[in-house]
Chains A and B, each alone.
Chain A
Amino acid sequence: MEGIDAKGENGMSLYFRHLSLRVHTVEGGLFGVDIPFKITGLNVIWADNTKGKSNCVNAILYALGLEKILTNKKAPPLKSVMTSIIKDDEERSYAVAESYVELEVENQDGSVLSIKRQVAGEGSTDLIQTWDGPKLTQPEGTYIQKDFVGAITGSALRSFGMANYLGQFLGWDIPDVARFEGGTSRLYLETLIPLAFVEQQNGWSVFPARVPTQFGIRDVHKRGVEFFLGLDVSEVEKKKQELSQALEQTSQQWYRLYDRLVNLAKEHNGKLDSVPDQPDQEFSSDEDQEPQLLLSRNKKWIDLETEISLLRERLSELTAAPPKSSEIQSIEAEHELSNLLNDLPYKQAAFDDLQKELSLESDRIQSLNDRLADLEEDLVKHRDAKKLRDIGSTLQDKLSPASCPTCLRKWPSTLLFEKDSNRAMTLEENIDLINGQKDMFQRMKEQSRGVVREKKRQVRAIEDEMISHRSRIRALKETLLSRSETPSVADVQARITLESSIRKLENTLTEFNDLIRRLKPVQKEYKRLLSEKDKLPASGLSEEDIVKLNAWEDRIRNQLYTYGFKTCLPPEISISKQTFKPEQAGFELNIEASASDLIRMKWAYQLGLMEMSSEFSTSRHPQFLILDEPRQQSVNRFGMQELLKRASLARGRNQQVILMTSEEKPILEELLQGVDHHLYSIDGLILKKMPN
């Protein structure tokens, strides 16, 4: 399984070559330390406990501009030996005048970067100086110097940010991920690098890793694992977000057009027919169900085109008809007038009936509103009673005893003494009942509102008809009074009215057709986006992702065997597909495992993650792992030796493991027997006096 050469195949590697700390004191001269690393394989850095080992790990992160992994404070996360007072081997103290960290790193292409960052002294701690070569180990060379800034807001994006430069140096294409508040953000390096190192104080008990959460990134703990393993899920999540945004925009576009159609229909007291009222509903492909705007005419619904034709017919009849004699005009006018005068009271009656029905329906809605308000009030009381019960204090228990303290009978669950209290509903049953009733009344209310809307439309239609009738009656009366040979007032009025109506309806038809024509492609696009979103895997994990996670699980289990894991049999361990945390039979391991087993799990977890690069070319692990004091919680030596053996295999994969330890030297020597490694021991204080 170790076929693929981790370096070069996947790109993306960061190797540490050399670390240097320098402290200039006011009166004591120069102090410092140089730690050379072998860029591949196991590096064991030994120093006495409390002599400054962890300071070295922190210095590495500080130099890279990633101090936000350790702290949110502005001050450099390094011990006071580098910022205020330093002591020598004879315990003499000296004030610090200036101090800095230097780090030399190499990437997958063999390019070397030297970094220097001020810790104390005159210069700014925000400034990070870099050179494009091994200035630390080969100072005589000529290198191009560039300045960057450390962890200030936006440095991940701005070209002068160290994080941005580091990302490029690593060859990482850092994705944008979802934020809690909406929108996206670059996946900060500070959320990724913790997966490649475990710090002594708090790092050993946290899975996946101790990741800073102040960047507001949603599910930030998972993002690092997804990125390192090259899971499709982050791409899937990104795609889901993009699609959601597109759907939202398309939906808004759809509703803007739909609302204009609704308003158009309202203007004519009409209604839409065969027009979907939701963006995800399709237009019918049936020819008999073309979208139409219907108008209410004589208690029937007719479509716009038919109405326009009828009006045109009437107009052409009027226009074509020869001028009538005044006698004929009078007879016709009287006839029409009589019909209209007969018809008007019926229209008025219909109008009055509709108004009464409207009023009744409105009253019904009001009473439904009252009922809903009562239900809501009762629901609040029940919820309060439930919260009271769930408080769970002894006082609360006293409030609802099982039996009466005086007569010892069962404590009643209701104050309705005429009923058998044993058959009262429980709080939960009552709450469900009220919610059910609320739901029912809300539906009834919605239905009533629909009825009210329809009746209002009918009322307006009849009103318009009555207005038009009255106007016609006036015109006819004038005609009868005038008795001349010229075209009657009634006829003229009829013609003008018809022409105006036809024009208005034709404009409406044009607008309607135009809106439908624009709505159709929007609806199609919405459907397309919806179907694309449906195709994405629900959990986000693709089949390939599952294969990778299972492979990682196998590596972890395999290691747990060798490290002497005792909490359970390694096959019972799994990695949660939701949280990427280790679990035993579905429960988080933190709860079940002993402290030393948690440490073993952490070894297996981190090493396994790094080893995945050799199995999957899509892995984006930076190929290094820093373990600060891995023998915690008195994990036995046997387990530790197996860890060292496993870590040493990193050389064969062109990966680098840096292990900081203060293990007793004889024990360490024993543990390292037969293990391929590079040991660098620092006796006494790490920061020692140096020649100036």
Chain B
Amino acid sequence: MKSDPFEDLLNCAYTLTPRPFPVPGDMRPDWRIVTCLMIINSVRGKKAALEQIHFLGHAIRRRKNRALAMAVIESKTSILIFPVRVDPALGVALAMAVGLGFVRLEKGKSYKLTDDGIQLLELLNQDPSLFQEERAFLNAVGKKVTQVRWRELMPKEKTE
């Protein structure tokens, strides 16, 4: 009797090999860690609060975000068009940066670069083609996002 080809197909052993999945560029740890370092280095006093890092970290990820953030910072439009998202991945990247010794947390409030962090950025500065657009954005707005300005952009919720 002729065998059923489907049965033949179902009766043998299978090996399933999952294909590797693509990862967006800004979800690569080193990309994110380096942008955190660049953000901290760009703000006034080279000390950044967590909210500043999240604001700029959210902005820096996309071209469109950078344009909207610029418009908000320069008071050309309301922050409502650019609501800041708290990005867990950024939090993880920041924790990694601290753990690897590129960043330290001062007085539990603000983040500052260590010597290693400064050196790493200097190394990267030798290649002007790296992080071109991100650098340009931070040079333009980094110092404008002071803690005072941040509070104006995002006032705390009033409680009774």
Contact = CB atoms under 8 A, between A and B. Distances in A.
Interface of A: 373, 377-382, 384-385, 387-389, 391, 393, 395-396, 398-401, 404-406, 411-417, 419, 423-427, 429-430, 433-434
B21 A395 contact: no
B74 interface: no
A393 to B, nearest CB: 6
Given A387-B127, A387-B130, A381 B25 contact: yes
A302 B154 CA distance: 67
Interface string B86-126: 00010011000001111000000000000010011001100
A370 to B, nearest CB: 9
Contacts of B102: 398-399
Given A384-B131, A387-B127, A391-B123, A399 B27 contact: no
B34 interface: yes
Contact of A413 (B19, B28, B133): B28
Contact of A404 (B62, B89, B99, B119): B99
30 contacts: A377-B62, A377-B63, A378-B25, A380-B25, A381-B25, A382-B25, A382-B28, A384-B130, A387-B127, A387-B130, A388-B124, A391-B123, A391-B127, A395-B119, A398-B100, A399-B33, A399-B100, A404-B99, A405-B99, A414-B23, A415-B27, A419-B21, A423-B18, A424-B21, A424-B23, A425-B20, A425-B21, A425-B23, A426-B20, A429-B20
A424 B130 CA distance: 23
A406 to B, nearest CB: 6
- Nearest 3 pairs of A and B residues by beta carbon: A381-B25, A415-B89, A425-B20
A423 B21 contact: yes
B89 A405 contact: no
A424 B116 contact: no
Contacts of B18: 423
A389 B92 contact: no
Given A396-B123, A399-B100, A406-B99, A388 B23 contact: no
Contacts, number: 102
Interface residues of B, number: 36
A389 B31 CA distance: 10
A235 B31 CA distance: 52
Interface string B115-148: 0100110011001011101000000000000000
A414 B22 CA distance: 10
Given A377-B62, A395-B116, A401 B31 contact: no
Contacts of A405: 99-100
B24 A427 contact: no
Contacts of B129: 387
B31 A395 contact: no
A399 B123 contact: no
Given A398-B116, A430-B23, A433-B22, A381 B30 contact: no
A380 B133 CA distance: 10
Contact of A415 (B63, B92, B123, B124): B92
Contact of A384 (B29, B31, B92): B31
A423 B24 CA distance: 14
A389 B89 contact: no
Contact of B30 (A393, A399, A424, A433): A399
Interface in B1-51: 18-34
B87 to A, nearest CB: 9
Most buried by A among B25, B31, B62, B129: B25
A400 B24 CA distance: 17
Nearest to A424: B23
A468 to B, nearest CB: 47
B99 A416 contact: no
B42 to A, nearest CB: 17
Contact of A385 (B21, B28, B100, B101): B28
Nearest to B18: A423
Contacts of B31: 381, 384-385, 388
B147 to A, nearest CB: 26
A434 B63 CA distance: 18
Contacts of B63: 373, 377
Contacts of A373: 63
Given A377-B62, A401-B100, A417-B92, A385 B30 contact: yes
A425 B32 contact: no
A20 to B, nearest CB: 56
A416 B22 contact: no
Given A393-B123, A398-B116, A381 B26 contact: yes
Given A384-B130, A388-B30, A424 B20 contact: yes
Contacts of B119: 395
Nearest to A407: B99
Contact of A388 (B21, B100, B101, B130): B130
